[in-house]
Amino acid sequence: MKILLVEDSATLRYAISRYINEVGHEAILAQDGEEAMHIVDETAVDMIIMDVEMPGLDGFETTSLIREMLGEHWVPIIFVTGKSEESDFKEGIEAGGDDYLIKPVSRVILKAKIRAMERIIDMRNELNKANRELTELSERDSLTRLYNRRTFENRAQDYWRQANRSRDPLSILLLDIDHFKAFNDSYGHIAGDDCIRKVSASIAQCANRPGDMVARFGGEEFIVLLTNTPESGARHVAEQIREAILDLRIEHRESSACEYVTISIGGGTLNNTQNGDLTSLVHAADQALYRSKDNGRNCVSVRQYTPLPKLLLLDQHSHTRPMIEKQLLSHCTLISADTYTDALSAAQQQNPDIVVLDDDDINQALNFCRHLSELNAVRVPIILITNEDDSNAHTPFDQLVVLHKPVDSRSLLANINRFLL
Query: What is the spatial distance between Cα 225 and Cα 222, in angstroms, rounded to a whole number?
Result: 10
Catalytic residue among 26, 220, 239, 374: 220
Q: Comparing C-alpha atoms, which of 220, 222, 260, 227 is closest to residue 241?
A: 222
pLDDT for the residue 165: 87
Measured CA to CA, the distance from residue 241 to residue 323 in angstroms comes to: 46
Strands 310-315 and 354-358: parallel
> How many CB atoms neighbour CB 117 within 10 A?
22
Q: Supply the pLDDT for residue 75.
A: 93
pLDDT of res. 83: 78
Residue 347 has a pLDDT of 87
Alpha-carbon distance 274 to 377, whole Å?
Answer: 13
Contact 2, 25 (CB under 8 A): yes
3-state SS assignment for residue 383 = strand
Quote the pLDDT of residue 135: 76
Pairing of strands 170-177, 263-270: antiparallel
Over the stretch 8-20, which tens digit does the pLDDT of each residue have?
A: 999 989 999 999 9
Residue 395: what pLDDT? 54
| The predicted structure's pLDDT at residue 253 | 94
3-state secondary structure of 167: coil
Three-state DSSP at 391 gives: coil
CA quadruple 382, 385, 391, 394: dihedral positive or negative? negative
Question: How far apart (Å, rounded) are the C-alpha atoms in residues 109 and 331?
Answer: 79
β-pairing, 221-227 vs 170-177, is antiparallel
Residues 332/307, Cβ–Cβ less than 8 Å: no
Work out the widest C-alpha separation in the chain, in whole angstroms: 95
Please tell me the predicted confidence (pLDDT) of residue 47: 94
User: Which residue ranges make up each domain of the chain?
Assistant: 2-134, 149-304, 310-420
* DSSP summary character for residue 331: T
Low-confidence ranges of the chain (pLDDT < 70): 376-378, 389-398, 421
Q: What is the pLDDT of residues 203-233, one digit of tens each?
A: 999 999 998 999 999 999 999 999 999 999 9
Query: What are phi and psi for residue 255, nearest 5 degrees?
Result: -85, 140
CA distances from 2 to 24, 67, 100, 108 (A): 10, 17, 19, 19
Q: Which of 267, 146, 138, 139 is nearest to 201 (CA)?
A: 146
Three-class secondary structure of residue 411 per DSSP = helix
CATH of domain 310-420: 3.40.50.2300
User: How much is the pLDDT for 85?
Assistant: 75
What is the CATH superfamily name and number for domain 149-304?
A: Reverse transcriptase/Diguanylate cyclase domain (3.30.70.270)
pLDDT score for 396: 54
Of 372, 368, 358, 361, which Cα lies nearest the Cα of 405? 358
The pLDDT score that the predictor gives to residue 136 is: 75
Q: Do 149-304 and 310-420 show the same overall fold? A: no
Active site residue 220: yes
Q: 53-56 — which CB contacts under 8 Å span 24+ positions?
A: 53/81, 53/82, 53/83, 54/6, 54/7, 54/8, 55/8, 56/32
Instruction: Please say whether the beta carbons of 7 and 32 come within 8 A.
Output: no
158 and 147 Cβ atoms separated by less than 8 Å: no
DSSP assignment string, 13-68: HHHHHHHHHHTT-EEEEESSHHHHHHHHHHS--SEEEEESS-SSS-HHHHHHHHHH
220 burial level (CB within 10 Å; 0-12, 13-18, 19+):
buried
2-134 folds as Rossmann fold (3.40.50)
pLDDT for the residue 412 = 87
Amino acid at 211: G
